[in-house]
Structure 1
């Protein structure tokens, strides 16, 4: 692969985290998924010990991406939406307009933590972003991402662990999906937060490999907000949580 770094959108900010870590924040706007995926891979291959960590925000044209654990039977009826292989972890998911993508490109050696903690920190940033909008999201053990109670997305009751043999997703809808790639101690890919989407394409797949998993967005929960506002909030929380 040619690791020459492609042209990147200009930095919209160069924030410093509360712990003093420098960041570069870039907003790709709406961009085809393969373009940003190839740019992330090239950036990670080219970065050196002094390269600042970056956070990329994006929105994508409709696409199904199939992670390294993906199985073709989980793509039920792709139709006119392309299916692209991805080197992130996990299985199939959908990206499309009205969804906020946040891609933290981190030097994990410099940060001093490993993948499990990185996942937890990204999830925490999403939890706090949603909480600002009044939505209570939950983690499900063994299923990265964030989920809401379909019957009470604004309630604050804790989510009890599923009993043995019980469907862990019963009564839940997935609002954010997470998938990462680590190369040379650098992380890329990231998290997708559903804001105001056409949710129908999720019915053409088993989202993240789970048969019948319900998918929601903020709009379907009755929360009317612009994706750009959610992206700004998520970026702020990610920079704080990833210190």
Structure 2
């Protein structure tokens, strides 16, 4: 078992380019696991965790409905946004500048083999991070992600989750709205759930900007603690670097 996680902040990066990079890392882990089944000596599988911001993009998960994207291809082009149907779970979501997107590409057999627990720990990482800013964030029964004022008419979502897992290897992840332009959410039904508002950390705190680097540091701190992991801040040179 290998509890070391190689971490990299990709900065602002195109969604499709980053998706392809995730696939490289994901397939690398799958290949090692397949080879291990044939060998007496087992090679440790690596784990990765990426932070990234994307230019404006809408993505639709495997169980999603295109009707939840409320604008045409022409309007997408007019607002400078792209659209992709992708291989994660969940419905539609938006990524854009001012949003911290996290992609853990883990071999869960290095940690635990429980997808439900994995999702709950990602949510807990965000809940603990927001608590450091004085916000009481929580889960909403039957819905993934992190929410505020659950059970009230003012419920609103601040973090979306959508993952893919195969042979206990994960990809995709979470998107936390920090300084996000919330107007882009008006072009979709967030996660396919009608009547639920979306918010961001800077809106909740009533400030123009929140330090993205500060939030990333808090997320990473809680991630390491929850997964009982060790972070390595340089991805091995044998791995494709964006």
| Common topology (TM > 0.5) | yes
Q: Which of the two has greater helix per residue? A: 2
CA–CA distance in structure 1, aligned partners of residues 216 and 18 of structure 2:
17
CA–CA distance in structure 1, aligned partners of residues 227 and 189 of structure 2:
30
State the match for 1:142 in structure 2: 142
For residues 204-241 of structure 1, what are the alpha-carbon distances to aligned partners after superposition, in whole Å with 9 as ceiling and x for unaligned? 10000011321000111125421121112111211221
1:31 aligns with 2:16: no
CA–CA distance in structure 1, aligned partners of residues 200 and 66 of structure 2:
25
1:174 aligns with 2:157: yes
State the match for 1:129 in structure 2: 129
1:216-227 superposed matches below 5 A:
216-221=199-204, 222-223=206-207, 224-227=209-212
Gaps of 5+ in 1: 1-18, 150-158, 163-168
For residues 130-179 of structure 1, what are the alpha-carbon distances to aligned partners after superposition, in whole Å with 9 as ceiling and x for unaligned? 01111110100111001112xxxxxxxxx5xx5xxxxxx73111000000
CA–CA distance in structure 1, aligned partners of residues 9 and 82 of structure 2:
24
Q: Normalized against structure 2, the TM-score is what?
A: 0.81
State the match for 2:190 in structure 1: 207
4+ residue segments displaced more than 4 Å:
none
For residues 5-45 of structure 1, what are the alpha-carbon distances to aligned partners after superposition, in whole Å with 9 as ceiling and x for unaligned? xxxxxxxxxxxxxx982121111000011111111112111
Retained in 1: the 8 A contact 2:2–2:45?
no
CA–CA distance in structure 1, aligned partners of residues 2 and 108 of structure 2:
16
For residues 48-100 of structure 1, what are the alpha-carbon distances to aligned partners after superposition, in whole Å with 9 as ceiling and x for unaligned? 25132111100000000000011011111152222111111000000000000
How many equivalent pairs are there?
208
Gaps of 5+ in 2: 34-43, 229-242
State the match for 1:9 in structure 2: none
Higher relative contact order (CA 8 A, sep 6+): 2
State the match for 1:98 in structure 2: 98
Give the CA RMSD over aligned residues.
Answer: 1.7
